[in-house]
């Protein structure tokens, strides 16, 4: 009897854990991800922030993801090379799609694909690997 009760308790615990995990890992639809996003931080620091210390400072950025799959990414800031600093505006266009686990895949019109973006309700983050851990590089909040 105790074994049966223990098996039931364990089974309920496993089902509850799986339900909690699946709720936390809800796959988003393209309609839930589409929208306008503003860059708010780089490496956890609010803008303006350095994306390449001593060389590139980003003042602002915007990411547009249309429901038709078009995308546009803009960044504004200052780039310094050998003590000579100039303002820059980087603009990239192309297409976007969603892959497993809410990975946002950017297909740039200039060529290349970037899949280091992850979508969550209300924000998008770009990430990189630092050894064995994933680190947040840029956070884009929906606005």
Residue at 22 is within a domain? no
Query: Residue 69: which CATH number?
Result: 2.40.128
pTM of the model: 0.79
Q: What is the pLDDT, as a whole number, of residue 111?
A: 93
Residue at 21 is within a domain? no
Residue at 49 is within a domain? yes
Residues 8-51 have pLDDT tens digits of 333 333 333 334 444 456 899 999 999 999 999 999 999 999 99
**Tokens 């490496």 sit on residue:** 43
Residue at 108 is within a domain? yes
- Angstrom CA distances, 14 to 4, 6, 11, 24, 101, stand at 15, 12, 5, 15, 21
For the chain, the average pLDDT equals 85
Residues 6+ apart with CB under 8 A from 32: 119, 121
What is the pLDDT confidence band of residue 128, given thresholds at 50, 70 and 90? confident
Residue at 6 is within a domain? no
Residue at 57 is within a domain? yes
Residue at 73 is within a domain? yes
Residues 43-75 have pLDDT tens digits of 999 999 999 988 999 999 999 999 999 999 999
What is the pLDDT confidence band of residue 122, given thresholds at 50, 70 and 90? very high
Contact (Cβ atoms closer than 8 angstroms) between residue 140 and residue 125: yes
Task: Please state, in angstroms and rounded to a whole number, the distance separating the CA atoms of residues 60 and 52.
Answer: 15
Residue at 1 is within a domain? no
Q: What is the pLDDT, as a whole number, of residue 133?
A: 87
């Amino acid at each position: 009897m105790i074994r049966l009760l223990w098996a039931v308790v364990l089974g309920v615990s496993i089902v509850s854990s799986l339900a909690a995990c699946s709720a936390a890992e809800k796959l988003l639809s393209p309609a839930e991800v589409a929208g306008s996003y503003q860059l708010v931080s780089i490496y956890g620091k609010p803008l303006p922030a350095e994306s390449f210390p001593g060389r590139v400072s980003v003042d602002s950025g915007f990411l547009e993801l249309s429901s038709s799959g078009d995308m546009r990414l803009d960044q504004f800031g200052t780039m310094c090379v050998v003590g000579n600093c100039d303002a820059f505006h980087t603009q990239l266009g192309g297409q976007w799609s969603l892959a497993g686990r809410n990975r946002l895949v950017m297909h740039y019109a200039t060529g290349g694909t970037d899949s280091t973006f992850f979508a969550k309700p209300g924000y998008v983050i770009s990430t990189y690997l630092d050894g064995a851990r994933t680190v947040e590089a840029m956070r884009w909040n929906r606005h």
